[in-house]
Amino acid sequence: MTGVLLLAATPLGDSRDASDRLKEALATADVIAAEDTRRTRALAAALGIRPSGRMVSFYDAVEQAKVPALVDAVRAGETVLLVTDAGMPSVSDPGFSLVDACVQAGLPMTCLPGPSAVTTALALSGLPADRFCFEGFVPRKEGARRAFLTALADEPRTAVFFEAPHRLARTLAEAVAVLGGGRRAAVCRELTKRYEEVRRGTLAELAEWAAEGVKGEITVVLAPAEKTLVTVEELVSRVEAEAAGGQRLKDVVASVAQRAGVSARDLYNAVLAARKRAGG
């Protein structure tokens, strides 16, 4: 008999957002793989639940090592519940490697849907939500961070990403420099919690606000880029900025060309010509 892997969304902050299916799974699963077992036990206690299964740690540093045993548990007929501290597993949280392993092994899995910081922030932002992309966490290193922001310069969809509170001011200041101070955005802080706050405005306004210091879990929503005519020189500059992050030149050219709606071959040749001129 084969078991099942359950991917379960957990509340972002308010335990009352827990679904009935999550409550049942916490009470009955044979194994609970938790990003932080202390937080999961606290959630269960807040819900008045006493888990009957064994609970194991499943955070970034041990994720790869724990996958084989969890796959074996599902294969042996057990129900394995995967939860993270908040939101959906594998969305900038541990989980993808376990999902991938179960897919490769042909083992059954299902999802217990629920809270998501991405869609919650998107809905509250006041920005277009018909098309959006999720960009994960902003890179910590300066070059990669600038390339990350540069890639959003002509993004036609609303973009959602996470940032640590102590790095938010720096990131917003750099966003002003790269994207322009007039681009609209929203900073969502402590979603569903007691001190929930949503700040909406231009990047310049938000950067000024964040300079005083911000606390809590942060989700940023960035408005789509306005369609403007872009020169070849500007596209070449974007390619060089993104390539500075360590990506292959041809991959960067293909990405920039696709977003700008121009020929990748022509843009690649323009980059090579610019480099040749710069070299003398």
DSSP the chain: ---EEEEE-B-SS-GGG--HHHHHHHHH-SEEEESSHHHHHHHHHHTT----SEEEE--TTTHHHHHHHHHHHHHTT-EEEEE-SSB-TTSSSTTHHHHHHHHHTT--EEEE----HHHHHHHHH-S--SSEEEEEEPPSSHHHHHHHHHTTTT--SEEEEEE-HHHHHHHHHHHHHHH-TT-EEEEEESTTSTT-EEEEEEHHHHHHHHTT---S-EEEEEPPPPP----HHHHHHHHHHHHTTT--HHHHHHHHHHHHTS-HHHHHHHHHHHHHHHT-
What's the pLDDT band for 256 if we cut at 50, 70, 90?
confident
**Amino acid identity at 25:** A
Contact 32, 54 (CB under 8 A): yes
Task: Please list the residues that pair with 218 across neighbouring strands.
Answer: 163, 189
210 exposure class (CB count in 10 Å sphere: 0-12, 13-18, 19+): buried
Contact 101, 73 (CB under 8 A): no
Q: Which residues contact 254 (CB under 8 A, 6 or more apart)?
A: 264
Contact 80, 3 (CB under 8 A): yes
In this prediction, residues 215-244 reach a mean pLDDT of: 88
CA-closest candidate to residue 216, choices 163, 159, 268, 271: 163
Q: Using one digit for the tens of pLDDT, what is the confidence trace for 167-226?
A: 999 999 999 999 999 999 999 999 999 999 999 999 999 999 999 999 999 999 999 998
219 exposure class (CB count in 10 Å sphere: 0-12, 13-18, 19+): buried
Q: What is the model's pLDDT at position 234?
A: 86
**Amino acid identity at 112:** L
Q: What is the model's pLDDT at position 112?
A: 98
Q: What is the model's pLDDT at position 228?
A: 64
Q: What is the model's pLDDT at position 279?
A: 79
Instruction: Please give the model's pTM, rounded to 2 decimal places.
Output: 0.79
What's the pLDDT band for 267 if we cut at 50, 70, 90?
very high
